[in-house]
Amino acid sequence: MDECDRSIKKSLAAQDPLVQELVRDEVEHGVLIPLKTTLELRDDYQTGRVLITRTPTKSANAAIMFLRDLLPDEIIKGVPHLRRCAMPSDLPAHLKAQFMNESPQSRQIHTGKSNWIYIIVGPENMLNRDEVTRALSTVEGMEEEVFLRSIPVPMVSPTSQVQAAMWTQHFWPSLYRKNNPLGPHPSMIARQTDEIADDAALWMAMAHQVARQSQDAGYGEPMGACIIQRGENNKITVVALAADARYCHQGKVGCAGNPMAHSAMRAISIVAQKLVRAENRKTQTTQAPIMEFEAFQDSPILEDERKVFDLDHPNPDGYLCHGLEMYLTHEPCVMCSMAILHSRMGKVAFRHRMPLTGGLCAEDRGVEHPSLNGADGGRGLGLFWRRELNWSMIAWEWESGGCLKPLNVDMAVHA
């Protein structure tokens, strides 16, 4: 038995008896790959133009203070990821060559130990060149001719030290401030990945098992979902287990079946049923079903689902799925992705990407996928982390270590 086997068996042994009973397959650790946001994929190299000037080193402070008095704060702070000042030797090679060959004075500035320094004035589209030129002409050493040039620079902060170094070589000396303006902070991703890495395979295994059971029973596509709560001291409670049931009680009517019975929607609805059940116990009331046909299919249809359904919700006073974790066999569709978001789920991991219909990945949908015959689903939505939405979470793609067999479905199906 190798170290990986011992680790997963140790994780399983630490779970409650029901989990040990439900995880019947051989399980191996997988690899968690954090999803990229839409901004990370599309705005990595969004550039704009800034004005730069140069001044004798002895006059640099005077020039900077003068600019601060002249320009609004938003202009001064418009590009905080770029060094405000740079020595001629620190400029990228193409800027050195360009400025060095403009005049004999410029060649002298870039030869040997320079007594001049370059300064970023601010974003070009926020400045009036004539006003800036007149203002700088009053600074000592710049009276005769004000140097003012426009250069392209990245308008967003680098997301890594490597990217900062690359931008320093190609644009202007850049700073990595250990943050990510385009998505979750790298330290947050690392911390949350470490939190779930040891046992993610267990919940994936449970989702896979009910997915196969549902397919064998003819209830739905081979898709499943498992929701857990990770409490203090890493105590884990399984809150919901749900398979896809889109064909249950109605057969394969049309090609889509019942969209409200996707595995993610059923799992969230089962959590809601548990909260309702807890509230009814408090108030000693019983609510009779109000619909002859239950669209959400939020009652258990499989024995494994029932065993989890019978357990009480570990936090009956919380809001729906706030802070819970969801593990899915397939990337949820747009409808399910938004339901996950609105339920305030804390973390989401899935195994199989749905390149045409998925709602979590930010990559363009369906493009060049061999099984989709040229179908184009447009730009990826990356719904797990969008600035314009009022909730965000970390999401991963989980690659199996090899024990869990793939659950193949039509890539055009909505999961």
Q: Which residue has the tokens 């024990």?
A: 403
User: What does the pLDDT read at residue 300?
Assistant: 94
CA 257, distance to chain mean position in Å, is 30
Regions of the chain short of the pLDDT cut 70: 1-6, 43-45, 251, 253-255, 287-293, 367-371, 373-377
Rg (CA), the chain: 29
User: What does the pLDDT read at residue 109?
Assistant: 87
Eight-class DSSP state of 217: H
User: What does the pLDDT read at residue 1?
Assistant: 47
Residue 264: helix, strand or coil by DSSP?
Answer: helix
142-154 pLDDT, tens per residue?
Answer: 877 899 999 999 9
Q: Is 232 left (phi over 0), alpha (psi -120 to 50) or beta?
A: beta
Least Cα distance to 76 among 134, 126, 149 occurs for 126
Q: Please, which residues have CB within 8 angstroms of residue 265's CB and are 6 or more apart in sequence? A: 259, 296, 335, 336, 339
- Joined together, the tokens standing for residue 228 give 């857990």
User: What does the pLDDT read at residue 370?
Assistant: 66
User: What does the pLDDT read at residue 160?
Assistant: 80
- Joined together, the tokens standing for residue 377 give 């689903």
Eight-class DSSP state of 401: -
Nearest-angstrom CA–CA distance, 256 and 180: 39
Q: CA angle 72-73-76, nearest 5°?
A: 95
Phi first, then psi: give them for residue 52, nearest 5 degrees: -125, 155
User: What does the pLDDT read at residue 295?
Assistant: 76
Q: What is the DSSP string of 130-163?
A: HHHHHHHTTSTT-SS---EEEEEEESS--SSHHH
Least Cα distance to 184 among 397, 363, 396, 400 occurs for 396
Nearest-angstrom CA–CA distance, 403 and 320: 33
- Joined together, the tokens standing for residue 196 give 């779930």
Q: Is 33 left (phi over 0), alpha (psi -120 to 50) or beta?
A: beta
Q: Please, which residues have CB within 8 angstroms of residue 101's CB and are 6 or more apart in sequence? A: 107
User: What does the pLDDT read at residue 369?
Assistant: 67
Q: Is 257 left (phi over 0), alpha (psi -120 to 50) or beta?
A: left
